[in-house]
Amino acid sequence: MANGKKLLLGNNKLMKSNNVSIGEVTKITDELERDGKTAMILAEGKKAIGIIACADAIKESSTEAVSEMQKLGINVYMITGDNERTAKAIAKQVGIDPKNIFAEVMPKDKASYVKKLQAEGKVCMVGDGINDAPALAQADIGIAMGSGTDVAMETGNIVLMRNDLRDVAKAIKLSKATISKIKQNMFWALFYNVVGIPIAAGALYFSYGVMLSPMIAGGAMALSSVSVVSNSLLLKRLKL
């Protein structure tokens, strides 16, 4: 209320639900939304009297981050509370497929959209706000930005220390490389034991007269540990 008059500030949906006539400003709001801005209409009573437009500045790294994830074979989706026209404009700027947009999503519904995507495969959710926490918890992997809220960081499985979306692709690359190293180490550890234990137990003694010396057995066991550790240290050479 201002000077006894009722004022409303919000999107087209709010105006229509309050029977506010917005025909005169629709063209302007459409143009603003096509430019990636969120248009809010100011109404006095049943008449629109002004427009306020705002926009989040897209980080220079966002386009590169989306491109890097797509190179990894990852389908990138965007979940936003903005209207569909604004969402598509932003998606176009960063290289996201317009089909992969969920617009006008209420904060409480983000987790539902993540669950919907999980029917098609594994889902990694990236967020930084309180409203993102349920979706981060629902996703198979939740990645919280270090500059985000405490709730988001506590909910996420991974917390990126820098506020840079390019680190999402780096985290995925590092995770894949780590899993690969774990599998390699498991293979070599099993190989050493499968070959070494029977020899140490005397499996070749009766046929070939070969008996494994305790010193050689101890050295082989140490070599097994050294090879596993050395293979793991190769991760330091990984270029992200």
**Residue 3: its pLDDT value, please?**
67
Are 217 and 192 within 8 A, CB to CB?
Answer: no
Are 157 and 143 within 8 A, CB to CB?
Answer: yes
**Residue 143: its pLDDT value, please?**
94
Q: Taking the model in full, what pTM does it have?
A: 0.73
**Residue 148: its pLDDT value, please?**
79
DSSP annotation of 21 reads B
Per-run averaged pLDDT (10 residues), the chain, 240 residues: 76 83 82 82 86 80 92 93 85 91 89 94 91 93 87 90 90 93 90 79 74 76 85 88
